[in-house]
Chains A and B, each alone.
Chain A
Amino acid sequence: MKTRFDRREFAIGAAATGALAIAGPVGRARAQIPAIKIGSLLPRSGFEAQIGQHCQQAIEVGKSFLKARGYSLEVIDSDTQSSPEAARTEAEKLIRDGCNILTGAFDSAQSLAIAQVAEQRGIPFVVNIGADPAITNQGYKFIFRNFPTAVMLGNHGLELFGEIFKATGKTPKTAVYIHLNDSFGEAVTKGVHAFRDKVGLPFTIVDEIAYSPQTNDLSAEVAKAKATNAELAMVITRLNDAILLVREMVKQKWSPWGIISPGSPGMYQMPFFKALGKYANYCITNVPWLDPKQKMAKEFEAAFLKAYPEQICDIDAGFTFEGLLVCADAYKRAGSTKPQALVEALKATNITDRVMLGGPITFDEHGQNTNLPSAAVQDLKGKPTVVLPAANAVAKPVFPMPQWSTRT
């Protein structure tokens, strides 16, 4: 048996190895798709910084989560400073820096400012969070939104009131409506009025009390609400004011049957639980939420909580992640970073494996995803918990809520 190579065989072998060594990386390079540059715009400083930073955590987790699933993406982070003017400037900067697609910006006014820039420059923009109907009803061709409009949010949230009362067998006769007077609060309020006038609510709104989002004292608002003797407090809040509101309700010993939001942030967020402790429990928010029964939702929540164990994987984290997912998915199908190719891919979006409750992510002719129902999310044992719809619920709703004085 021949056991040794001769010179000729060694030369052939060496040449073949060299050829493979050269061809290998080339072959790999051909197989590897270059990453799409996604510009992520979030209010990471300014008065919305707390929630903006929370969304940023979803971006951090989302990047590696999607890469592990074969998506090719590079995220360029940007801070809108909680200001529409800064959002506009940052969007222009991201486009100048070569971003192929934008996502953001948590806030309606900031999203509108970015949408104008994106439309002018012909760069697709996927709105992660922002409920103002104007974002998708202006005939823009490059704007897509995977978040309910204020009208959808209000309607779905208000429909759930009846379901909560039906599930618990208790229906209040009167409610006081306490709400923010910023663009988000006013948009939801319009939705509430329209729903009340067209469909009707199971209770009478005895008073409406508006307040500024930058307020640092809600004692007068709560005293006025208490004076109405309403059985239910229907609220539209953000985070800091939600804490102030409930704290004042406890101090003024006003314990209505329930505190229910038809769709607004605040009452499901970790700082709310930390600031209020036992008094945070039993508040209900009717919002789109992570579907506890979806596989991807479970996996993403596990990854998020592993990275940020002190946080809650909530609607903001979920929709921020899905914003990235929509961008990465469009690029995967388009196979190109050209704006028009991305827009065509976005129009054809049909993502069934997602984290939020509802059907597949698709966009209508206005760029709006209409498959975004709400869930009744009640704070139970210091954690937001889906209590309705029954098919997705992991606990039963508690209504009326226990009085403040009986909480332990």
Chain B
Amino acid sequence: MPAWLGFVVAGLLTGAVYGLMALGLSVIFGVIRIINFAHGEMMVLGMYVTILVCRALSLDPLEAAPLIAALWFLGGYALQRGLVNRYIARPEHEQFVLLLAIAIILTSSMLMIFGPDAQSLQTSYAFDSYEIGALTLDKVRVFAAAGSVVGVALLWAFFGFTRTGKAIRACADNQTGALIVGLNVKRLYAVTFGLGTACVGFAGTLMLLLVDVQPYLSTDYTLLAFVIVIIGGLGSMPGALLGGLLIGLSEALSAYFFAPSLKSLFSFALLIVVLLLRPQGLLGSRA
């Protein structure tokens, strides 16, 4: 078996978690047309809360993931109803400042509460791996990717088969039409924001299996989520997934063929290429 195949599989598994993380950003923008600049911060906060919940209730992160997603849904719902909703009709730069302020407050609060040191959660399978022929896959990466697939499937089922999901899609397609037929757009926006934050909270729990958390990771994740959704197409759910997988793959292959320290360089190179050749993203539609 060629050595690069192991890198490809590991890259795709990590990319699946990246995809779920970016999906939250894409869902919020696709419906509400607001860019969540506090996305990475919400994810890192999710990682910290997972540590607290798992230690307090003696849970595995995978068991805690639905609980964190539910908490983040409620938090996102409240944030949208209480604050973000007031900014929907305002100029974009005001929305930007609001969400940036939330991001700074979250990072500073995490620094004050949890400190700057990296923290991790030890699981019984942290050092385990699967061996398939010559391929070695670490268990936590497989579990994290599987969790992401479940998360994405649930979100897809929600939008495809529930009345609320269909109503949200209607809002995204034509807000005026949705208002005319009597949909409660403000409530649907809040549900959408809640779903976006639930995605990122869920992704944070899964990411905790792969990395140690510290407050300074927030900016990296916000940036990564932006790169992914721009590559995939801002507002496109399949695009966010594709973007996540492509970034995971690009990081893995650049590490194998060039140098691991050049991972980010190739991710940004991919972004530039997509912006030059297809500015709306691979699966995005022209505005």
A contact residues vs B (CB 8 Å cutoff): 45-47, 49-50, 181, 209-212, 214, 216-221, 223-224, 227, 240, 243-244, 247-248, 250-253, 275, 279, 404
Contacts and interface: CB of A to CB of B under 8 A. Distances in A.
Interface of B: 3, 6-7, 10, 14, 111, 115-118, 120, 122, 126-129, 131, 136, 138-141, 210-212, 214, 216-217, 251-252, 255-256, 259-261, 263
A241 B177 CA distance: 54
Contacts of B251: 220
B45 to A, nearest CB: 16
Nearest to A222: B260
Nearest to B213: A216
A240 B212 contact: yes
Given A45-B116, A49-B117, A240-B212, A220 B129 contact: no
A226 B175 CA distance: 54
A289 to B, nearest CB: 24
Given A219-B10, A247-B127, 7 more contacts: A47-B116, A209-B259, A220-B255, A221-B260, A224-B256, A240-B118, A251-B138
A227 B138 CA distance: 16
Contacts of A240: 118, 212
B128 A221 contact: no
Contacts of A251: 126-129, 136, 138-140
A211 B260 contact: yes
Given A220-B256, A275-B120, A244 B216 contact: no
A220 B10 CA distance: 8
Nearest to B117: A50
B224 to A, nearest CB: 11
Contact of B129 (A50, A216, A243, A252): A252
Contacts of A47: 116, 214, 216
A223 B7 CA distance: 8
A210 B259 contact: yes
B126 to A, nearest CB: 7
Contacts of A50: 116-118
A49 B212 contact: no
B127 A227 contact: no
B263 A220 contact: yes
10 contacts: A211-B260, A220-B252, A220-B256, A223-B3, A223-B6, A223-B10, A247-B126, A250-B127, A275-B120, A404-B127
Given A219-B10, A251-B138, A252-B136, A212 B261 contact: yes
Contacts of A248: 138
Contacts of A45: 111, 116
A19 B259 CA distance: 81
Contacts of B261: 181, 210-212
Given A220-B263, A243-B212, A251-B138, A49 B116 contact: yes
Given A181-B261, A216-B217, A217-B211, A224 B255 contact: yes
A212 B128 CA distance: 25
B40 to A, nearest CB: 13
A140 B217 CA distance: 38
Contacts of B136: 251-253
* Shortest 9 CB-CB contacts between residues of A and residues of B: A220-B255, A251-B138, A216-B211, A49-B116, A221-B260, A250-B127, A220-B260, A50-B117, A227-B3
A217 B208 CA distance: 11
Contacts of B214: 47
Nearest to A404: B127
A214 B218 CA distance: 13
Contacts of A221: 255, 260
A324 B161 CA distance: 69
A210 B260 CA distance: 7
Q: Which among A227, A240, A251 has the highest number of chain B CB atoms within 10 Å? A: A251
Nearest to A240: B118
A229 to B, nearest CB: 11
In the complex, which of the residues A223, A247, A404 has the most CB atoms of chain B within 10 Å of its own CB atom?
Answer: A223
Contacts of A224: 255-256, 260
Contacts of B263: 220
Nearest to A250: B127
A217 B207 CA distance: 11
Most A-side CB within 10 Å, residue of B7, B126, B217, B261:
B261
A49 B263 CA distance: 26
A177 B211 CA distance: 23
A244 B7 contact: no
A50 to B, nearest CB: 5
Nearest to A276: B127
Contacts of A220: 7, 10, 251-252, 255-256, 260, 263
Nearest to B256: A224
Contacts of A404: 127
B52 to A, nearest CB: 18
Nearest to B253: A220
A279 B212 CA distance: 18
A223 B252 CA distance: 10
A274 to B, nearest CB: 9
Considering residues B127, B136, B138, B261, which has the most beta carbons from chain A within 10 angstroms of its beta carbon? B127
A52 to B, nearest CB: 9
Contacts of B139: 251
Nearest to B207: A216
B138 A252 contact: yes
Contacts of B131: 253
